[in-house]
Structure 1
Amino acid sequence: MSGTAPKIPVSTLVVIHDPDLNVLLLERADRPGFWQSVTGSQDPGETLEQTAVREVMEETGLDARSHRLVDWNLSNIYEIYPIWRHRYAPGTTHNTEHVFGLTVTARSPVRLAPQEHLASMWLPWQEAAAKVFSPTNRHAIEMLPQRLGMRP
């Protein structure tokens, strides 16, 4: 791992959306064509909410504290893709992901972290769900109307 501490196999997934259920997606720099919501590993000593706030700021430039951030009390355990396992302690194969929703008032402009993402786009929730590569991300986006008390 060349001098960096292994990542903690606990992460947050933050579905950023506007009131009309348009969802912000980011294209991974290390895997062009792979689109996702904001996601990232917990740092030592952080609460899950602090991880979500930090990752949103790092990946989009948005301050989650000035919008409506909601812990969905939903977690997913998934197998870490083999191409990314080197980032974790030897033998770590699974990650626990905690889902949050972040409602922004409008399609906010974002400031990407170029080492992490190549592009961003806002899509209606159905299109966003179809575009993401991660099944847990897809499921979270598909839950969005229900989470907000709407009919899909």
Structure 2
Amino acid sequence: MATDEPPPAFKIPQSVLVVIHTPALEVLLIRRAGIAPAFWQSVTGSKDWPEESWAATAVREVAEETGIHCGPGTPLSLQDWGLENVYDIYPRWLHRYAPGVTRNTEHLFGLCLPAPITPVLAPREHDAWQWLPWREAADACFSPSNAEAILLLPQFRA
């Protein structure tokens, strides 16, 4: 939903995780820029507005972070896995949230592409990408919730 209001001063502690994969269960991972050690992950991102739907957040984040368009009117469609993770926000990122906010709710989606593609990364956010078999992708993830989501992939294969 578009609005003329300025974005919230703090990040909203509601985010999406989108596991982009192929029918052969190859998974796209992108590396966060400027973070050491390497921080490999799937597409993630927070709601821009409290009333933004989970699906709208996922479509926006996939486009922003990979250049892949998967919203209404495109041949690709997200699969809502109907799962959520609630986890403690890493201390290094607590300053992005309102005082006292320490936990985030993450809604899970999958996006199946017919074959691996070359993503168009947002250079201020990500600086590298790779396609890996699903188990290797889970092992490469920095975030435990991301790794667990990838390990669920065979259950959600289209």
Q: What is the TM-score when the length of structure 1 is the normalising length? A: 0.93
Instruction: Compute the RMSD of aligned alpha carbons.
Output: 1.4
Secondary structure, counterpart of 2:152 in structure 1: helix
Aligned length: 147
Partner Cα distance (1:69, 1:4) in 2: 26
Residue identity matched to 1:91: G
- Unmatched runs of 5 consecutive residues or more in structure 2: 1-6
Corresponding residue for residue 115 of structure 1: 124
Residue 82 of structure 1: aligned partner: 91
* Equivalent AA in structure 2 for residue 17 of structure 1: H
| Structure 1 residue 46 displacement after superposition | 1.0
Residues 1-152 of structure 1 correspond to what in structure 2 (within 5 A)? 5-32=9-36, 33-44=38-49, 45-65=51-71, 66=74, 67-148=76-157
Deviations 1:10-64 (A, max 9, x none): 0000000011100000000131401000000011131000000000000000002
Judge conservation of contact 1:68–1:104 (CA < 8 Å) in 2: no
List runs of 5+ in structure 1 lacking aligned partners: none
TM-score by length of 2: 0.89
In the TM superposition, residue 4 of structure 1 has moved relative to its aligned partner by 6.5
Which secondary structure state, in structure 1, belongs to the residue aligned with residue 109 of structure 2? strand
Contact 1:27 1:36 (C-alpha < 8 Å) held by counterparts: yes
Contact 2:23 2:157 in 1 (8 A): no
Contact 1:36 1:137 in 2 (8 A): yes
Same amino acid, percent of matched pairs: 57
Inter-partner Cα distance in structure 2 for 1:112 and 1:100: 19
